[in-house]
Chain A
Amino acid sequence: MSGQTHAEGAELLRVTDLVKHFRPPRGARRDGPSVVHALCSVSFSVGPAETLGIVGESGSGKTTLLRTILGLQKPSSGQVLFLGEDVAQRRGKRARALQREISVVFQDPYTSLDPRMTVADILAEPAQIHRLTAGSRTAVTLLDQVRLPAASLRKFPHEFSGGQRQRIAIARALALDPKLIVLDEPVSALDVSVQAEILALLNELQRERQVSYLFVAHDLAVVADISHRVGVMYGGQMVELGPTGQVITEARHPYTRELLAAVPVPDPQVERAKPRMLQRQWPTETDGLPPCPHGDVL
């Protein structure tokens, strides 16, 4: 696989100048700002069969970005284009069609599956919602794709381990043969060894089915492991975006460099040579973020 610089027409998802602001509750407004910018003019694109990784710490806006792309929140301004069409403008049948093209896997495998449904019900739900019979894959095929035995069908989520549950969530995401799967911290709740399994599975599925991933996580090492390109979010902005190798070796933004330095390296010599970071150079959300230069859109 090579770091794609795909042609304009071939791109699957394009996000342009996405802005999302919130009005804080009335009580908190007196001392704080009147508007909080969760997203501040974010632009990027994802190509076919490509994995774009997005790294950010808490409060960086990565969750808001993801929810906006999934249609769970409306952007304040800017566009999310899927195959050239504005997601927010789609209505009726076109909107239904879009729901089949994008699916999601969430972080916590313990809460992302309805505890009251069997695996068979969970895997059948996407087709039920879209009233599809043909074209949707059978539950057994789906389970086979994520390497779970067919006997799992009649079980409930609580009978599986964290890693197995995440496989079920991936199977559900594959049910309608989407072009893009949004992965929201899919491995951060799992043990290291299980993380590796899931990442390997995701890679193989991408090879087999040419699906694109938008992989969002706080762990740069995990993101770098699976992504072709990496974007770094900080304070609602995309401060860095480029091919994975380039971001790691020649990061341009100082925040990216701090992030890179903070990732522990499994080598005592390297770790002990690092300077001690008692203070962060870049403030967190609670300490006050830099203002959004597009803050006057209101």
Chain B
Amino acid sequence: MPNPELVKDPALLTDAVPEAGSSKLVVTFGRFIRHRVGMIALAVLILVILAAIIMPLLWPYGYSEITPDLSQSPSLEHPMGTDTLGRDLLALVLRGMQQSLLIAFSVTVIACVIGVVLGVVAGYFGSFVDATVMRAVDLVLTLPTLALAAFLGSLVAGGGVSWLGLAMVLGSLMWTSVARLVRGVVLSLRELPFVDAARVMGAGPVRIMFRHLVPNVSDHIVVAGTLMFGVAILAESSLSFLGFGVQPPDTSLGLLVANAQSAVLTRPWLFYFPGLLIITIVLSVNYVGEGLRDAFNPRSSPTNPLATPRRGRGGKQRADRRPVTGQRSVTDRKPSTNANAVDGSTVDTDPQAPAKALIKVTDLSVRFGSQAAVDSISLEIQPGEVVALVGESGSGKSLTGLSLVGLLPNNAVGSGSVVFNGDELSDLTFGQWRRYRGRRIAMILQDPSTTLNPVLTIGAQFEDSMRLSAPVSRTEARRRTIELMASVAIKDAPARLDQYPHQLSGGMRQRIAIALAMVHDPDLIIADEPTTALDVTVQAQVMATLAVARERTGAAMLFITHDLALVAGIADRVAVMYQGKIVEDQDVFSLFEAPRSDYTRKLLSLAPRIDGKAVERQ
């Protein structure tokens, strides 16, 4: 029976609470405010819109008013010059902006309304409704919008209908992108438990669509709408340029450019001012959209595992580091005590013998800004030894593992020293790392469904690894691959060679990842939660496979997991991490018998287990 104490004091344990914040909208708004380019673009856009609304009221010239000044270049009187008829270009441009903005705004509203309604309905109801809407989308997508709009626009314009008709023509042709986007998001939202939860409570389709789905798609709609506004301005001005949009004597920016076509060299102001205004408006709209996108969905700093990771630089962190160099040991790479190492009885874990350590971590820290996710830990692994690193989420165990292979996230800063077989591994470049990765240190990641390359066959992925050290012929590579796969108990190994990862089960993929780790007989295998994504019977298989891999290669292993029970069968020594620190580090038998730290004791007592207790309760 679970410990009743816990009900009373839920704050007893580690469950991390995110920083207190406010509503999502406020947070998003705050992020947008801090988005410099987005804010500048917004300021420009507001300025342009205000100018289009207010300035025509104040400006002395009307857009159709003919002055005696023909074809004048910009002056104080006419800041943008005048056209061949003597009309003031600034007045024309202001009128053009009004028209363009008005039409683009209406197009955006029309397209978004159609797109959102159809997208939500298609995504929510699926099957037949979805198929029908998507066929319609396909159809509209096969038609060149501009051509159809030009034809319809010519009718609209001929009938004397103004901007609204044009907006309706464009809007009814441009909704597809919004519909596709909204449908896609709704399709994935629909699968989320909160929608199912509402359904179980008895909520009807209308409530689910408008109370739950639409608010959750709103970020996407706002971003798509903003970008569409830019596209609409371009579409309207293209149409007007071709003569099927806004008709004279009224004007739009596109029409002004059209009229100035032959004047680029002779009266350049007529061409550049309206053109540059279109560019300015669309550019700022796009940057506002980009800013909104970033604000709704903040991008983490770019991940690029091909780059060389950042290290703590300068004063303090540099001083913290005590790189252990010059300890180049001459230890035998492959100790012959492997067999003994399995039952963990003869492995020397004596801390008095640092020279023998295969890998020695000293004062390792990983910081995100001022926060230390790993807080100056030290850890040693002897050749052939299996060390388990156990901790709950946020304990820093995975970051520790990634530090050993130089793959920290880009916004993390690592410091401290990692010495592998006497070589300092900190500050290596990508090229230098390649001497260790795969060959001396292999790693197995958590989720086997994403670790293999989806577009290469299994055989090709083995070949990639084998070609690292020396050129290998195709047949030789295949022979060795089959042998490796057989050693991790993969049935039908020859048939698997030409298959792709998506054709294999999760357990099979993880065993292939293990076999890939064995290719170069590494000295150290790091397994980061290798069974977390798998079912318990598959987990047992993968654990057995790992044991086999370790025996065959004689490698030492760092086994990272959140499950203390899981390490009992494989580890020689267990290090328990809690909030970035190692709180306990001792051999596996003593740990389970007499844990030293309170935290370990708590973990052991809390883990549900199948034993006498469950039976007693009956």
Contacts and interface: CB of A to CB of B under 8 A. Distances in A.
Q: Do A and B interact directly, with beta carbons closer than 8 Å?
A: yes
A102 B4 contact: no
B207 A193 contact: no
A267 B193 contact: no
B536 A263 contact: yes
Nearest to B19: A159
Contacts of B12: 193, 197
Contacts of B565: 264-266
Contacts of A84: none
B537 A262 contact: yes
Interface string B81-107: 000000000000000000000000000
Given A164-B17, A265-B609, A266-B604, A284 B536 contact: no
A102 B570 CA distance: 43
A278 B200 contact: no
B300 interface: no
Interface string A39-81: 0000000000000000001100000000100111000000000
Contacts of A276: 544, 547-548
A277 B393 CA distance: 28
A200 B196 contact: no
Contacts of B216: 114-116
A272 B15 contact: no
Interface string B544-588: 110110000000000000111110111000000000000000001
A16 interface: no
B20 A159 contact: yes
Contacts of A144: none
A160 B18 contact: yes
Given A158-B18, A266-B564, A280-B541, A72 B4 contact: no
Interface string B581-618: 00000001100100000000011101111110111111
Contacts of B14: 191, 193-194
B535 interface: yes
B428 to A, nearest CB: 34
A196 B608 contact: yes
Interface in B1-53: 1-8, 10, 12-18, 20-21, 23-24
Interface string A276-298: 11111010111100000000000
A86 interface: no
Interface string A190-202: 1111111101110
B76 interface: no
A267 B192 contact: no
Contacts of B568: 264-268, 270-272
A112 interface: yes
B614 A104 contact: no
B193 A163 contact: no
Interface in A81-133: 95-96, 99-100, 102-104, 106-108, 111-116, 118, 125-126, 129-130
Nearest to B25: A116
Contact of B610 (A260, A274, A285, A286): A260
Nearest to B342: A272
B456 interface: no
Nearest to A95: B202
Interface string A202-225: 011000000000000011111011
A147 B592 CA distance: 32
Nearest to A197: B6
B393 A191 contact: yes
Interface string A128-140: 0110000000000
Interface in B245-284: none
B384 interface: no
A82 to B, nearest CB: 13
A103 to B, nearest CB: 7
Highest count of chain B CB atoms <10 Å: which of A193, A199, A225, A262: A193
A113 B505 CA distance: 31
B606 A267 contact: no
A57 B540 CA distance: 13
Contacts of B4: 200, 203-204
A199 B608 contact: yes
Nearest to A60: B535
B8 to A, nearest CB: 8
Contacts of B136: none
Contacts of B564: 192, 266
Contacts of B197: 104, 106, 112-113, 169, 172
A146 B15 CA distance: 16
Contact of B536 (A116, A190, A262): A262
B608 A221 contact: yes
Nearest to B504: A286
B200 A103 contact: yes
B313 interface: no
B307 interface: no
Interface string B268-310: 0000000000000000000000000000000000000000000
Contacts of A220: 536, 610
Given A72-B200, A192-B607, A200-B6, A158 B21 contact: yes
B609 A161 contact: no
A162 B161 CA distance: 58
Contacts of A100: 202
B478 interface: no
Nearest to B537: A262
B612 to A, nearest CB: 9
A99 B610 CA distance: 35
Given A220-B536, A225-B614, A108 B15 contact: no
Nearest to B4: A200
Nearest to B7: A200
B578 to A, nearest CB: 10
A114 B489 contact: no
A196 B15 CA distance: 11
Contacts of B151: none
Nearest to A162: B15
Contacts of B196: 67, 70, 72, 104, 106
Given A221-B610, A271-B568, A279-B541, A102 B200 contact: yes
A292 B538 CA distance: 23
A259 interface: yes
Given A164-B15, A279-B541, A193 B536 contact: no
18 contacts: A99-B201, A102-B200, A106-B193, A108-B193, A115-B216, A125-B198, A129-B207, A193-B12, A193-B13, A194-B14, A197-B15, A203-B1, A218-B536, A243-B618, A244-B615, A264-B540, A272-B343, A276-B547
Interface of A: 1-3, 57-58, 67, 70-72, 95-96, 99-100, 102-104, 106-108, 111-116, 118, 125-126, 129-130, 147, 156, 158-164, 167, 169, 172, 184, 190-197, 199-201, 203-204, 218-222, 224-226, 228, 243-246, 248-249, 258-272, 274, 276-280, 282, 284-287
Given A245-B617, A286-B504, 6 more contacts: A57-B535, A95-B202, A102-B200, A224-B608, A274-B569, A277-B541
5 shortest interchain CB distances as A-B pairs: A271-B569, A106-B193, A245-B615, A99-B202, A112-B193
